[in-house]
Amino acid sequence: MARKRSPAANAASRAPQRRHIAAAHPQASEAKDTTMSSRSGSRWLRISVRIIALVAAATAAYMAKESSHVLGLTSLTPEPAKMQSQNVGFMAQVLQKSKGQNICKPEGIISDTCTDFNGAETLRHKVSGPLDKMIRTKFFRTLKVDLYKPCEFWRTEGSCFQRDCIVTPFDDRNIPESWQQQTVDHTNFGPFLGSFPRQRLEHSDKDFAIVNDETYGDGIWVDLIENPERFTGYAGAGANAVWMSIYQHNCFGVAPYLQDTAGGWGSQLVNVDGKSMPFVQPPRRRRELLFFLENMSEEERGVTLPTDVPLEYRVFYRIVSGLHASISTHICSDYLNSTTNQWEPNLSCFISRIGAFPDRLQNIYFNFVLLSRAIQKMEPYLAAYDYSTGIAKDDRAVKRLMPKMLRAVKRAGFIFDDKELFQEVSGSAMKAEFKDNFRNISRIMDCTGCEKCRLWGKTQTLGIATALKALFSYPDRAFRGSFTTLDFKRNEIVALMTTYFQFSYSIKGIEMFRGMYQNFVTDWRASQLD
């Protein structure tokens, strides 16, 4: 393909041509050697001008490219047309206003599910009422977690001792005795009479995570409502090491390219090099948003989630990716404004953390659907579960709210086909590997240096693992009748419902940030008219 010449080069080349034509006019006859000299000079002039124009164009292109990377990708000059990323297009759709709607209503089927985004949001609106109230009752807000288990994989930097990193424990005297009762399992004793009990296994063959039994072992009791998942100030190499380890070593090699900071452009306080890294500011003109996101996205580098991998591996990655995005959304939704010292949503945080990884945004919805399907399957068991705490008001509330939530989830219909997974000849081996890797992620959460981050990482990992256990460790018939074959600990039920609420809250947060972006654009337009 011929190189397109710049306007400057064309103008420069035409100038000597015009001089040459004038010299050939009958009224301007000149000597032959003079004409030859003029032609030679004009040829060298054209070559010189062309070289100068090409060097200038190359220099301008290089500077534009470098400035976009060095300055946080703030250059918004449109590039030549290139294939638009589907994930980036989705991110732009979420933030941009369409058809006069004031809430986010993305369209299309959620990948690897049997429902669309509108169906997921409709379900979220139906379950949010009873779910939001239910998780505030004593049964669901109280959990025992081992927050001081050492990291098995690398030497950690130590704990974060900032105020917002610390978890406030719950007074053990306010815990029902039935939750703390020490039970003796005689099958765990050694072969000789009177020998000490063997150390209990961290998990059973059916578990997808490390399950710490609340009636046995270490841990502290925590009030989840009093220790919300929010911005803590914990960042840097330690925080990034956790996610980089999960993506690089536990996602079956299907995770896309990762940047140096797994949190996206900008971090909570410091970047991996220990220097301050402010969040990227979104564009004020709506028409520039898509190009802005394309530049910020790692997919601009031509790397995305492969499609020719087994469904099971894709599902695994979507789970991890969605969990990461949900946590980031919570951090940005409840962010400490250092100027006002107030907790408030931070739009730039959301754009920076999610915009660089747009596929994670879709995977929030995927996780919500997966959890909904597990609750559908567990519906008879959850309806019959004993949620007693001894607090009459809370016990009555759960008896009223749980059936309402379960009915809403059940009526959502066929939203995820769990029967498609682990059906190949290698299905059993693949399921075992799937379990091992997810258990590994629950162990990696012990390497988080922030107590509150570790609390929510472990709780939500256990919640998703409980859903996977229900879907893939038990047949449908196990959730009917007497439930004698089921083995779910109280903390698994609490983690499941808490995690379901967290993803519901993340989708609500997406709607909130979309409204904030519209206000951001509107306020800027108004300022230009003043």
- CA atoms of 522 and 393, how far apart (whole Å): 46
- CA atoms of 148 and 451, how far apart (whole Å): 9
Q: Are the C-beta atoms of 213 and 201 separated by less than 8 Å?
A: no
CA angle 148, 154, 157 (to 5 degrees): 65
- CA atoms of 39 and 45, how far apart (whole Å): 10
Say which residues have a Cβ less than 8 Å from residue 150's Cβ, sequence separation at least 6: 446
Q: Tokens 């988080």 sit at which residue?
A: 448
**pLDDT on residue 140:** 98
**pLDDT on residue 530:** 57
Say which residues have a Cβ less than 8 Å from residue 434's Cβ, sequence separation at least 6: 208, 312, 316, 422
Question: How far, CA to CA in Å, does 249 sit from each of 164, 354, 432, 454?
Answer: 30, 22, 16, 19
**pLDDT on residue 462:** 97
Q: Tokens 């429902």 sit at which residue?
A: 115
**pLDDT on residue 6:** 44
Give me the active site residues, please: 450, 453
Q: Tokens 């000149």 sit at which residue?
A: 30
Q: Tokens 């301050």 sit at which residue?
A: 276
- CA atoms of 129 and 124, how far apart (whole Å): 9
pTM value?
A: 0.74
- pLDDT per residue over 359-406, tens digit each? 778 899 999 999 999 999 999 999 999 999 999 999 999 999 999 999
- pLDDT per residue over 474-503, tens digit each? 999 999 988 999 999 999 999 999 999 999
**pLDDT on residue 164:** 80
- Spell out the alpha helix ranges (H) of 273-346: 289-296, 311-333
Question: How far, CA to CA in Å, does 155 sit from each of 150, 248, 352, 355, 455?
Answer: 9, 18, 29, 31, 19
**pLDDT on residue 379:** 98
Residue (of 127, 64, 119) closest to 505 by Cα position = 127
Q: Which stretches in the chain have pLDDT values below 70?
A: 1-106, 157-159, 161, 181-201, 235-238, 254-307, 355-358, 523-530
Say which residues have a Cβ less than 8 Å from residue 391's Cβ, sequence separation at least 6: 137, 138
- Distance, first Cα to last Cα, the chain: 50
Q: Are the C-beta atoms of 418 and 449 separated by less than 8 Å?
A: no
Which amino acid is present at 174?
Answer: N
**pLDDT on residue 8:** 44
- pLDDT per residue over 334-363, tens digit each? 988 878 888 999 888 887 777 656 677 889
